Structure 1
Amino acid sequence: MRALVVAAHPDDEVLGAGATVALLAAQGARVHLHLLAEGVSLRHPGVSLAEARSRCEAAAAELGADDVSFGALAPDARLLCELPQRLTVEAIGDRLRAHRPETVFTHHPGDIHADHRLVAHAVTYQTRSLGTGSVRQVLHFEVLSSTEQQTHLVAPFTPHVFYDVTGHVDAKCRALAVYDHEVHAPPHPRSAEAVRAQATLRGVQAGVHAAEAFVLGRELRGTPPARPAPKGTPT
């Protein structure tokens, strides 16, 4: 299996699908992480672009991902929503062609963060015809402190797909700890305690000890080959 995680900012990939990445990597899947605007980390005092990318690579290593790439769309700490939309759309198209994933994990289109919504819509646009490329499934993840903050009057996050990540939540927490400038003490949602609580809640919903939940965006399933008609059967 080849999977691509498309995230707007550093730590979104961990919060959204970190334990699932660790699970898939442990199962032998090829998982690539792509961060479109790693430069947003420069808003933290003393963080350089090189250090921001180094942290992303360290987090990817904790999860067991094959590699991580960078969009460099906002190297001056600007947000994606401040740039022309086509830049995000084109960057995602490039990654899809380069890695030819079967499954894409990305943001939810109802997220409260404008950048997250932009990325979700760009992925949807670039995968609108699943039969013409490698992608067979698009899954939208939730990002603590962002997705759950959106009012349910706007595209609520109602998960359809659950990955049993029992045994992989620790890896997610270790990867999150790499982004120490983004982690807060509980009860802040960007805390290890909140990550574990969320995994437990989603696990309860799915009947397992720990889970990550996703909304199914699109999926293309193969049609089984037709069986030959028995002799003498009208066709």
Structure 2
Amino acid sequence: MLQLFNKILVIAAHPDDEILGVGGTIPQLVKMGKQVDVLIFTDGSSTQYFDNDAILEDKFHEAKAANDILGSKVLPRADFPDMRLDTIAHVDKNIALGKIISGGEYDTVFVQDRTDINKDHNELFESTLVACRPYPGQKVRHLLSYYVNSSTEWGNLLKKEPFNPSVFIDISETIEDKLRAMAEYTTEIREYPHPRSIEALRNSAKYFGNLVGTEYAEPFFLVYSI
């Protein structure tokens, strides 16, 4: 399926979401000669670390270092408020995303899944649906949502509609790239058995890989492919 993608945008509500969800797939796309850009939609820390500009900057230095390992480019951040996307008018998020997606002429977009328990992830998914809706002249041909450790698994337990992946990408050859990239997020990485620990990320990739007969995999829900 990766052969169908040419110019890819990975949308992340927060710094590290892109690695948690797509960190093994990104380097495969890059090695195939594809362009992969990453958009971090919020400021990443204004609610968790109120009035701490230093941590905010640290997170984006970490994002660049992590994505440098994978070969993806981090776009200028959108700076919407962290953990408060539900306080921003839906139309304002739609417009901001639409400008970036159409301006970049992306044919493929990845975004967090709607089943997540993180409200920012839900809001971003809904706005991405609007920005990527098929219409005459729409460049986006493939839209997929991804799984985020420490958020999606709780949605599976607590929501009526769990994450139900329909696409699995074998990342057996790139799992170490994903883990090295995540290790750059020192402000986000946690000790095992936290789901954002290196060992838990490996276990998660192994679980999804074993579902489809590979050593490691990343799961996605295919919203549409034209």
Query: TM-score over 0.5 for the alignment?
Result: yes
Determine if the alignment matches structure 1 residue 86 to structure 2 residue 88.
Answer: no
- 1:130: how far off? 5.2
Cα deviation per residue 1:116-173 (whole Å; 9 max; x = unaligned)? 0001111111122155311111110010010110135432111100111112111111
Q: Secondary structure at the match of 1:144?
A: coil
Residues in 1 aligned to 2:187 and 2:217: alpha-carbon distance in whole angstroms: 26
Cα deviation per residue 1:90-116 (whole Å; 9 max; x = unaligned)? 121111112111111101011101100
Determine if the alignment matches structure 1 residue 171 to structure 2 residue 184.
Answer: no
Identify the range of structure 1 (138-147 vs 38-47) with the bigger mean alpha-carbon deviation.
38-47
Residues in 2 aligned to 1:52 and 1:62: alpha-carbon distance in whole angstroms: 16
| Structure 1 alignment gaps of length 5 or more | 221-235
- 1:46: how far off? 6.9
Q: Is the 8 A contact 1:18 1:172 kept in 2?
A: yes
- Which entry has the higher C-alpha Rg, 1 or 2? 1
Residues in 1 aligned to 2:108 and 2:210: alpha-carbon distance in whole angstroms: 25
Determine if the alignment matches structure 1 residue 37 to structure 2 residue 28.
Answer: no
Give the alignment partner of residue 66 of structure 1, picking from 73, 91, 112: 73
Residues in 2 aligned to 1:10 and 1:19: alpha-carbon distance in whole angstroms: 16
Cα deviation per residue 1:4-59 (whole Å; 9 max; x = unaligned)? 00110101111011111111111111000000003426734673433332221111
* Pairing 1:4-83 to 2, within 5 Å after superposition: 4-40=9-45, 43-44=48-49, 47-74=54-81, 77=82, 79-83=84-88
Moved beyond 4 Å, runs of 4+: none
| Structure 2 alignment gaps of length 5 or more | 1-5
Matched with 2:112 is 107
Residues in 2 aligned to 1:131 and 1:193: alpha-carbon distance in whole angstroms: 45
Residues in 2 aligned to 1:109 and 1:78: alpha-carbon distance in whole angstroms: 15
| Percent of residue pairs bearing the same amino acid type | 32
Matched with 2:3 is none
- 1:69: how far off? 2.9
Query: What letter corresponds to residue 222 of structure 2 in structure 1?
Result: L
Residues in 2 aligned to 1:100 and 1:56: alpha-carbon distance in whole angstroms: 23
Q: Is the 8 A contact 2:86 2:119 kept in 1?
A: yes
Residues in 1 aligned to 2:17 and 2:66: alpha-carbon distance in whole angstroms: 11
Matched with 1:154 is 160
- Structure 1 length as normaliser, TM-score? 0.86
Residues in 2 aligned to 1:15 and 1:130: alpha-carbon distance in whole angstroms: 31
- 1:84: how far off? 2.1
